[in-house]
Amino acid sequence: MAITFYDLCGKDRARFSPYGWRTRMALAHKGLDYALELVTFTDKEKIAFSGQKLVPVIRDGETVVSDSFAIAAYLEDAYGDRPSLFGSAEGRGMAKALNGYVDRMVQPLIAPLIVADVFACVGETCKDYFRTSREQRFGMTLEAFQAGRDEKLAAFRTALEPVRLVVKDQPFIGGVAPTYADYILFGSMQWARLTSTFRLVESDDPIHAWVDRLLDAHGGVAREEPIAAQVA
Ligand SMILES: N[C@@H](CCC(=O)N[C@@H](CS)C(=O)NCC(=O)O)C(=O)O
């Protein structure tokens, strides 16, 4: 069965979605080939068949799955003969807890550090949509939301402490090799790394070394992605 992966893209086909990276790493982990369909912020009719408006989406034969965690769970079940994303039922539960933690507690702390930089990486035809939708969400301009980011950094770094405590003692959350639990927070770090030159963690932070290890995982698929911030 051929998988089609619908991933978000910005300017110059840049793929920086944190959720898209979770799926991209999951597909690489499973060693699955796929056809790629890039979807811009204003091009969502491409995923109308999924019955919702967010990417990532995958289509695998007759099966359509949206939401990055649901996609990981689907891939785990449908491709049980490939390397496991969760390790066990217990691992799946722990990964889901981390997914909720990153979505609800970490992502909201990253957005005010980089959102105006992300805007610079969005394609011209999507800029109005991105600005209007995000400014409505945040209740202020992108620039005001990102202002004073140096002062907001400490809260973000503190929120990483639960993961830092793990990866200072072992290479990955998953142990000696990465699992889906790693890809969840990695997606957020990769989002910032690709769209902004703002330094989220110091180079001596164990989180920095962990990100570096994930950039090398699966043939370096994450490191190969061009840094949109440099061309924006
Ligand atoms: N819970 C979803 C969230 C997906 C999501 O928010 N995707 C963003 C891209 S990062 C999106 O499609 N945004 C479209 C928009 O803002 O119009 C997941 O884990 O996949």
Q: Does 214 share its domain with 104?
A: yes
pLDDT for residue 19: 98
Q: Structurally, how many domains does the chain consist of?
A: 2
Q: Identify which of 55, 75, 107, 185 to mutate to test ligand 1's pocket (most ligand atoms within 8 A of the CB).
A: 55
Asked whether the predicted pLDDT for residue 231 surpasses 70, the reply is: no
Q: Which residue has the CA at smallest separation from atom 15 of ligand 1? A: 41
| Nearest-atom index, ligand 1, CA of 130 | 16
Asked whether the predicted pLDDT for residue 53 surpasses 50, the reply is: yes
Q: How far is the CA of 225 from the centre of ligand 1 (A)?
A: 19
CATH number at residue 148: 1.20.1050.10
Q: Which residue has the CA at smallest separation from atom 11 of ligand 1? A: 54
Q: Does 35 share its domain with 127?
A: no
Handedness of CA 74, 97, 83, 13 (dihedral sign): positive
Q: Which residue has the CA at smallest separation from atom 5 of ligand 1? A: 54
Residues with CB under 6 A from ligand 1: 8, 17-19, 41, 54-56, 67-69, 133
pLDDT for residue 115: 97
pLDDT for residue 1: 60
Q: How far is the CA of 51 from the centre of ligand 1 (A)?
A: 14
Q: What is the pLDDT of residues 124-174, one digit of tens each?
A: 999 999 999 999 999 999 999 999 999 999 999 999 999 999 999 999 999
Region 201-206 average pLDDT:
98
Do the beta carbons of residue 211 and residue 25 sit within 8 Å?
no
- The Cα–Cα gap between 115 and 64 comes to 30
Do the beta carbons of residue 205 and residue 98 sit within 8 Å?
no
**What does DSSP assign to residue 44?**
G
Q: Which two tokens stand for residue 56?
A: 């990532």
Q: For 123-150, give one letter per residue: b (16+ CB within 10 A) or e.
A: beebbeebbeebbeeeeeebeebbeebe
Q: Tell me which residue range forms the domain holding 160.
A: 89-231
| Nearest-atom index, ligand 1, CA of 18 | 10
Q: Does 189 share its domain with 104?
A: yes
73, part of any domain = yes
pTM of this prediction? 0.97
Asked whether the predicted pLDDT for residue 232 surpasses 50, the reply is: no
Q: What is the pLDDT of residues 59-92, one digit of tens each?
A: 999 999 999 999 999 999 999 999 999 999 999 9
